[in-house]
Amino acid sequence: MATHVKRAFKYRFYPSDAQAAELSRTFGCVRKVYNLALAARTEAWARQERVSYHQTSAMLTVWKKTEELAYLNEVSSVPLQQALRHLQTAFANFFGRRSKYPRFKSRKKSRKSAEYTTSAFRFREGKLTLAKMAEPLDIVWSRPLPEGASPSTVTVSQDAAGRWYVSLLVEDPTLQPLPAAGAAIGVDVGLDHLLTLSTGEKVANPRYDRRDRARLARAQRQLARKARGDGANRRKARRKVAKVYARITDRRRDHLHKLTTRLVRENQTIVIEDLTVRNMVKNSKLARAISDAAWADFRSMLEYKAHWYGREVIAVDRWFPSSKLCSACGTLRGKLPLNVRTWTCDCGTTHDRDVNAANNLLAAGLAVSVWGAGVRPQRSSPGGQSAMKQKTPRREP
């Protein structure tokens, strides 16, 4: 593990009218450049030709000289170049079979963001000034940056609820491996209970989506009554809907952060199930509940925090029969419908379905250190794929 880990610190800020206008122009130009480059690469794909990042960078220079796209010169060039780099990363992930083919950015639905590197911002004495701006951003420093930290990149974004954020990527020397802990734990995720631990502890599912469902429905009805188009009233109604969604998301993420931090601090090894959430949400009856539980976010947080603090996360194969296997004698039960929450094995042991699954996950996860069978190890890097899940890369044209 590296001595210093790069970490993003995200803060709320309140731009002036001039800054908001400049950033909005930048967001629009970033989206335009990304879409133009994606269109060029897609056309080349159809002709069995290859277009690299450097070629799209040369295209950007040509686009800026045209009368139609001359407005691209009005904003900082760095976020535009970063958009091309992000597109290159998206294609690399596609060819590596880690994601789908890149999609065009929508003016209404896509995330509004712009990334600045060191040449396009100044950070001095706790004040951040971006290129093309005379005044520093009015940032709410809700937590301090690491002492002596100097951002390598700055990402400015605006969410659907209209809130402005700035994210500073810095090296954080405070992120060091925690003292070794002898504890290991199995974690079974669910809907009735968000988590069931092999210790027998059950963590309630807060169901934040259900709590705010009436408020969300009311805001969506108000939006549905507004005339179609891009009128001011419809924008206000859309903003109200986005604020309800933002409230749900913020509370959910806060809860998951507290849970994952606690698990990582208390345990050296954490064993989870390798669920394919994107396939599970195709079930129309459970899609909303599964999305609200945010199992994928839980796993992502657990893995990058384990990477930070020198812990290990092991993902057991999704086909491992954790619920139907008796954790006492090893007998495999034939069928176990979802509505059966407790069952008794032939050996006389009565099992709580979820606690039994967590115990079996823990046993299978610990077995990887000896046999390596039936489990997938922790991803080599946060956001990456498991070594056993990788496939032959797709050939790039």
Active-site residue, selected from the candidate residues 22, 115, 303, 354: 354
How many residues in the chain? Answer: 397
Residue 273 annotated in active site: yes
- Distance (Å, whole) CA 5 – CA 265: 18
Residue 125 annotated in active site: no
Query: Closest Cα to residue 192, out of 206, 175, 183, 205?
Result: 205
Active-site residue, selected from the candidate residues 188, 209, 292, 303: 188
Active-site residue, selected from the candidate residues 115, 209, 273, 292: 273
- Token look-up 């408020």 returns 215
Longest Cα–Cα distance in the chain:
81
DSSP string computed for 220-267: HHHHHTSPSSS-HHHHHHHHHHHHHHHHHHHHHHHHHHHHHHHHHHH-
Residue 291 CB burial class (10 angstroms; 0-12, 13-18, ≥19): middle
User: Is there a contact between 7 and 169 (Cβ–Cβ < 8 Å)?
Assistant: yes
In a 13 Å sphere around the CA of 58, the CA atoms on its Cβ side amount to 4
CB count, 10 Å around CB of 314?
24
- The set of catalytic residues is 188, 273, 354
